[in-house]
Every structure is written in C-alpha cells, then in structure tokens.
Amino acid sequence: MVTIGIIAVLSGVLLVNFSGSRGKARDATRISDVGQLQLAVQLYYDRCGQFPASLSINANNGCPSGASLGTYISQIPTPPDGAGQTSYDYATLTTSGVVVNYVIHAVLEQYNVAVSKGLSSMPSGYSASYTCSNGSSSTNYCVTSN
C-alpha cells in the first residue's frame, strides 16, 4: 500500500512537470517557425526587391524573376495547438504599391525570453494591427525586417 502511494505521488509530480515542458516545446516550435518564415521572406526580398504581399506559397507580387515565396519555403507552417492561433499573422507596409516592410506575429503559451527580442509595439501604417509587446508577461511575439 505504501509503495502504491509513493508511486502515485511521484507520478503526479512528474505529470505536472511534463505538461509544462510540452507547452515550452510548442512555443519553441512557434519561434522556430517564425524564424523560418522570416528567412524565406528576406530571401524573397533579396531576389525581388520587395516583400511578398501575403504568407502564401504562390505570393509573387509580380516579381521580375518569377520567383514566389514557395521558392524559399516548401510550405507555410501552422502553429501547434495550445495558444488558440490557427495561422501565423502577417501584416505589410506598402508605399507606392510596393511592400516595403512586414510584421510576423505569433502567440506563445508562456512568456519566453525570445519575446524580449521581438518588437515592443506594432508600428503604425501596416495592413493589420496585432498586439506586440516585449514585456515580462507578454506572450505576443512579433518580428520584422528592421
């Protein structure tokens, strides 16, 4: 009986620790996905002279070389379940019909030090508005080219 009680207590402690680890692993996946998207968008810019208008494999904005975002990333990743976000958000800043900047936004499950390296607020003039914060309790993670 004592042995069963000890096993039950240890199982309960381990289960609590593992559930937190799963959330951290999903957040690490989100941060990695945003980094991959950022790299693909930057490579697109290097070739086309502007950023894509959307996070779509077929996005090409009339790129003179005929490249699309799919040239640099095989599929657009989707966030893992857990934070209530079904796709990564993408907002653009357009000047004279040319996409000159972007913001990629993800919602994390827990505060992560990566948030402090993101945007502190959403700049004005973008096609959409997201909550971006690098505060100590924020779970909104945003990156941009600047």
Residue 93 in tokens? 């800043």
Per-residue model confidence as pLDDT tens for the chain (146 residues): 788 878 877 777 766 666 678 888 899 999 999 999 999 999 999 999 999 999 999 888 888 888 999 999 999 999 998 778 899 999 999 999 899 999 999 999 888 777 777 777 888 888 888 888 777 778 888 888 87
Type of residue at 145:
S
Instruction: Compute the half-sphere exposure of residue 114: CA atoms within 13 Å on the CB side of its CA.
Output: 22
